[in-house]
């Protein structure tokens, strides 16, 4: 049995990755390592929590001693690292927590994996450290013909993207210096079930439903490239198993939207689903002060992963968005509990003494 530690597995993308690996690979032992911050939530994984090849461990990647113990205990062959502080707006008000988790936490994990693997008889043979990163490390595009490729120079513009860029550099440096078997991917904006409602799409779904203002930053002209979260999880499976050592793969859906167009689309879809007269929800749109240093456009060139590894997105945006809205409408309790912080309190009590 192969043991793999997936960090951040209680979060949005991590929970989809954990579910995919637990169900697709019954011969793998999946350890979900997560601190259960405000963004992490075990209710995302109730359907697989009793599977025999799944173990949850609550722990913080900024704690090096804890990681040394964990790696000693489980002797994992693989690490898929998703744990991070992930929200740009929070990074503007509290950059240090991004430095701690995204930079220090990543280096702690690299050190724990390196030591555990070098102490083992097989050394780095058959081992893999996979770092999951973001397209935001490339900065902001201004020319409509440009796309981010794997060769685009790093130019991070927010404390969040600077911390992810730093973590990417450390992972590559460990590959180069210590010959650690690393692989990386940089993905565009994800959307789908279990998306924390501080991010654009779930926030808008929540506010439309509650008849609350829909805060659009600046003029709503900023462009993002959206990918259904399950397609990202499938890409992570592909890169983990087929990606070449030391390589980076950009992941995206060739699916660019201006923020304001997405908000209008969501208003249309939800008016229909909620039985409201057409045009009702769009009246909630409220233009608010722009995000400081707001990146204008992200767009991924995903040709490398498509041509070399054979991955491609499975869902069209309208279909994915429909599924997403349906999921949120059917999971009101989840939405109420994450917005009120109720899940956090529940799991804090449950794991307080472990």
Candidates 59-67, 203-211, 233-241, 281-289; binding stretch for ligand NAD (CB under 6 A): 59-67
Tokens of 198: 């501080």
Which residue, 135 or 168, is less far from ligand DAU as judged by CB?
Answer: 135
Collapsing DSSP to helix, strand or coil, 135 comes out as: helix
Between the alpha carbon of residue 28 and those of residues 25, 46, 151, 183, 240, the distances in Å are 5, 19, 34, 19, 13
What angle, 0 to 180 degrees and rounded to 10, lies between the N-to-C axes of helices 12-24 and 229-242?
60
Residue indicated by tokens 């930079």:
103
The contact mask relative to ligand NAD for 131-170 (x = CB under 6 A, - = no) is -x-x-----------------------------x------
Q: To the nearest whole angstrom, how small is the minimum distance from the Cβ of residue 156 to ligand NAD?
A: 12
User: Considering beta carbons, is residue 200 or 338 the nearer one to ligand DAU?
Assistant: 200
List the single partner that 222 binds among ligand DAU, ligand NAD, none, CB under 5 to 8 Å by kind. Answer: ligand DAU
Judged by CB under 6 A, the stretch of 33-41, 68-76, 113-121, 238-246 that binds ligand NAD is: 33-41
Residue 177 is encoded by which pair of tokens?
A: 């210096």
Question: What's the closest the beta carbon of residue 217 comes to ligand DAU, in angstroms?
Answer: 4
Question: 173 touches which of ligand NAD, ligand DAU, none (CB within 5 to 8 A by kind)?
Answer: none
If contact means CB under 5 to 8 A according to the sort of partner, which of ligand DAU, ligand NAD, none does residue 167 touch? Answer: none
Contact predicate 17/79, CB 8 Å: no
- H helices of the chain, in order, are 12-24, 64-74, 88-93, 95-98, 105-119, 159-177, 200-209, 229-242, 259-273, 303-309, 317-330, 332-340, 342-351
Helix, strand, or coil (residue 144): coil
Q: How far is the CB of 97 from ligand NAD (least distance, A)?
A: 8
266 binds ligand NAD (CB under 6 A): no
Instruction: Of 23, 24, 45, 43, give the one whose Cα is nearest residue 32.
Output: 45
Residues that bind ligand NAD (CB under 6 A): 7-8, 10-14, 34-37, 39-40, 60-62, 82-86, 101, 105, 132, 134, 164, 187, 189-190, 196
């Amino acid at each position: 049995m192969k043991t793999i530690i997936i960090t951040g597995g209680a979060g949005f993308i991590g929970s989809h990755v954990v579910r995919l690996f637990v169900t697709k690979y019954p011969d793998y032992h999946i350890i979900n390592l997560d601190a259960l911050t405000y963004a992490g939530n075990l209710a995302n994984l109730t359907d697989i929590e009793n599977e025999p090849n799944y173990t949850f461990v609550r722990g913080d990647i900024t704690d090096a001693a804890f990681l040394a113990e964990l790696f000693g205990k489980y002797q994992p062959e693989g690490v898929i690292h998703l744990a991070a502080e992930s929200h740009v707006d929070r990074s503007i008000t509290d950059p240090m927590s991004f430095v701690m988790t995204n930079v220090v936490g990543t280096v702690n994990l690299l050190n724990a994996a390196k030591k555990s693997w070098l102490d083992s008889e097989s050394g780095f043979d058959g081992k893999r450290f996979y770092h999951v990163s973001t397209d935001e490390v490339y900065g902001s595009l201004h020319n409509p013909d440009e796309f981010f490729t794997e060769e685009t120079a790093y130019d991070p513009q927010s404390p969040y993207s600077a911390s992810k860029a730093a973590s990417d550099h450390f992972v590559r440096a460990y590959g180069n210096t210590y010959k650690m078997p690393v692989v990386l991917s940089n993905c565009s904006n994800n959307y789908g079930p279990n998306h924390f409602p501080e991010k654009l799409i779930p926030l808008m779904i929540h506010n439309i439903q509650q008849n609350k203002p829909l805060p659009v930053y600046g003029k709503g002209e900023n462009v993002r490239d959206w990918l259904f979260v399950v397609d990202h999880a499938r890409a992570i499976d592909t890169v983990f198993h087929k990606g070449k050592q030391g390589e980076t793969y950009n992941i995206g859906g060739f699916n660019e939207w201006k923020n304001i167009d997405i908000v209008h689309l969501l208003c249309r879809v939800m008016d229909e689903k909620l039985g409201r007269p057409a045009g009702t929800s769009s009246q909630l749109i409220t233009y608010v002060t722009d995000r400081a240093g707001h990146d204008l456009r992200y767009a991924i060139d995903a040709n490398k992963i498509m041509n070399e590894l054979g991955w491609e997105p499975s869902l069209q945006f309208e279909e994915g968005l429909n599924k997403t809205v349906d999921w949120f409408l059917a999971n009101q309790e989840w939405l109420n509990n994450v917005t009120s912080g109720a899940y956090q309190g529940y799991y804090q009590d449950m794991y307080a003494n472990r």
